[in-house]
Amino acid sequence: MSPPVYLDHAATTPVDPRVAAAMAECLTADGVFGNPASAGHVHGEAAFERVEAARAAVAAAVGADPQEVVFTSGATEADNLAIFGVAEHARPRGRHVVTARTEHKAVLDPCRELERRGWQVTYLAPDERGRVAPDRLAAALRADTVLVSLMHVNNEIGTVQDVAAFAAVCERHGGAWLHVDAAQSVGKVALDFHASGAALMSLSAHKSHGPKGVGALLLSRRHGVRIEPRQFGGGQERGLRSGTVATHQVVGMAAAFALAVAARPAEAIRLAALRERLWRGLEAHGGALRNGAPEDTVAAILNVSFADVEGESLLAAVAPRISVSTGSACTSASGEPSYVLRALGRDERLAEASLRFGLGRSTSAEDVDEAIAAVGAALSRLRRIGGGCAIAS
């Protein structure tokens, strides 16, 4: 039996072999294995040079200056550093933060922690397509607002937010910095940190065929962003993120970003065609509802709810043939359905019975056709076992 088709690229991607080769050069005794903080000997200097070259490459890929890049262990750490770092630094100016209900947990959970510490947080509601209206943001800002955290590309439904409009709102306000979680963005949409107007931006490597365990927080020099560190012990990354920088990880991130940015224009067109092929096939099975509008979403993500099936069973039924994510956040009885889909207005059952298809560099038309067939077979079987919708519940 052939392995399932991988269609969960929004969760993570395989490391590109070219990226892995670049990383491998920084691991073993015959490579650049030194500690980049060890100044004064050849091994340390060589590692330092690789790290700084990686910093420059990451910055170039996202329209930032190298001095604005702080390497972290991933986007979750970058989000935490941004939110708590700004909160700690800006506390004398105010204790109010604005975010959205559809943010990643890496943003929502730190915001909830701030609330536990006495801060006030406003959670903006998106429209039914997943978009956050800039005028809603403007209405939510207060004199004591110090931070706005809104994502660029939604990880569940792929909606691309108008970051520049958010930045303009924050600029007019004058006191609130805009932090953007751009973990899903690189390689999927054009990303220019300076042009976006954001003050802080979180990045992840492993969504773009880079390694897990590395990301970055960008801190805008134009905005004069200052944050308090969360981690101490060595003073690396200008004292903002202590700990030995993992040379092979940041080199991998830089290589992955360069490849993703170069491939993006052609990939966006190719994946958009595959996504629409997938949607047409799924729609033909009946009872399929698209979450998010195609004109607002990245080409690599398609999220669909299916009527008259239970979410966990749907995922289990398709799993032997395709690897996808479900809107069922937890498969236990106490688990909540996707809060993102609930925020869009989907009812609990439809939010739970949803599949997120994450297309990627390796996805082919044959993969898409297999997904259509696998979902069709699962729907047919589960709807038959469930008695369809004709039987009263």
Partner 1 sequence: MRYSELTRQYFERAPCAGTLAGPDVVSGVAGRRPLGTWVRFDLRIAPAAARGPQILEARFLAFGCPHTIAVAAWVAEQAAGRPASAELPQPVDALRRSFEVPVEKLGRLLVVEDAWRAATAAAAKK
Q: Which residues are catalytic?
A: 330
Is 333 one of the binding residues for partner 1 (CB under 8 A)? yes
In the numeric block, the tokens 């999927």 are attached to: 188
Among 28, 172, 348, 364, contact with partner 1 (rule: CB under 8 A): 348
Name the residue nearer to partner 1 (CB basis): 46 or 307.
Answer: 307
Whose CA is closest to 376, among 284, 274, 280, 277? 284
Residue number, 192 or 348, with CB nearest to partner 1: 348
Q: Is 349 in the site for partner 1 (CB under 8 A)?
A: yes
Q: Are 30 and 218 in contact (CB under 8 A)?
A: no
Q: Which is nearer to partner 1, 29 or 391 (CB)?
A: 391
Stretch that binds partner 1, among 72-80, 113-121, 175-183, 329-337 (CB under 8 A): 329-337
Should residue 336 be labelled a site residue for partner 1 when binding is judged by CB under 8 A? no
**What is the nearest approach in angstroms of partner 1 to the Cβ of residue 386?**
4
Rounded to the nearest whole angstrom, what is the least distance from the CB of residue 329 to partner 1 in the complex?
12
Count of positions (residues) in the chain: 393
> Would you count residue 2 as binding partner 1 (CB under 8 A)?
no
| Cβ-based neighbours of 33, under 8 Å, separated by 6 or more | 26, 27, 43, 47, 247
Structure tokens at 65: 């200056």
Whole-angstrom distance, CA of residue 208 vs CA of residue 360? 9
* 100 close to 137: Cβ distance less than 8 angstroms: no
Residues 133-172 that bind partner 1 (CB under 8 A): none
With CB under 8 A, what is the number of residues at the site for partner 1?
20
- Strand bridging mode 96-100 / 120-124: parallel
Residue 300 C-beta: closest distance to partner 1, Å: 26
- Of the pair 289, 316, the CB lying nearest partner 1 is at 316
Applying CB under 8 A, which of residues 41, 91, 222, 381 lies at the interface with partner 1? 381
Q: Are 105 and 156 in contact (CB under 8 A)?
A: no
Q: Is residue 391 part of the contact set for partner 1 (CB under 8 A)? A: yes
Structural contact between residues 310 and 363, judged by C-beta atoms closer than 8 angstroms: no
Among 92, 174, 334, 366, binds partner 1 (CB under 8 A): 334
**Nearest partner of 79 among 175, 176, 182, 152, judged by Cα:** 182
CB of 379 to partner 1, least distance (A): 13
How do beta strands 354-358 and 96-100 pair?
unpaired
Give residue 242's identity as a one-letter amino acid code.
S
> What are the C-alpha distances in Å from 151 to residues 100, 103, 121, 319?
8, 6, 16, 29
Nearer to partner 1, 213 or 386 (CB): 386
Distance separating alpha carbons of residues 150 and 171, to the nearest angstrom: 15
Q: Tell me which of 278, 352, 358, 371 binds partner 1, using CB under 8 A.
A: 352
- The site string for partner 1 over 31-60 (x = CB under 8 A, - otherwise) reads ------------------------------
Query: Which x/- pattern over 255-294 shows residues binding partner 1 (rule: CB under 8 A)?
Result: ----------------------------------------
Site for partner 1 in 306-325 (CB under 8 A): 309-310, 312-313, 316-317
**Whose Cβ is closer to partner 1: residue 133's or residue 307's?**
307
Q: Tell me: does residue 393 bind partner 1 (CB under 8 A).
A: yes
284 DSSP assignment: T
Q: Is 292 exposed, middle or buried (0-12, 13-18, 19+ CB in 10 A)?
A: buried
Are 383 and 309 a contacting pair, CB within 8 Å?
yes
Residue 29 or 334 with smaller CB distance to partner 1: 334
Token representation of residue 258:
């360069």
Q: How far is CA 246 from CA 56, 213, 250, in A?
A: 16, 9, 6
Provide the minimum distance between the beta carbon of 341 and partner 1 in the complex, in angstroms, as a whole number.
Answer: 15
CB 188 within 8 A of CB 299: yes
Asked if 386 touches partner 1 (CB under 8 A), the answer is: yes
Q: How far is the CB of 309 from partner 1 (least distance, A)?
A: 8
The residues binding partner 1 (CB under 8 A) are 309-310, 312-313, 316-317, 331-334, 348-349, 352, 381, 384-387, 391, 393
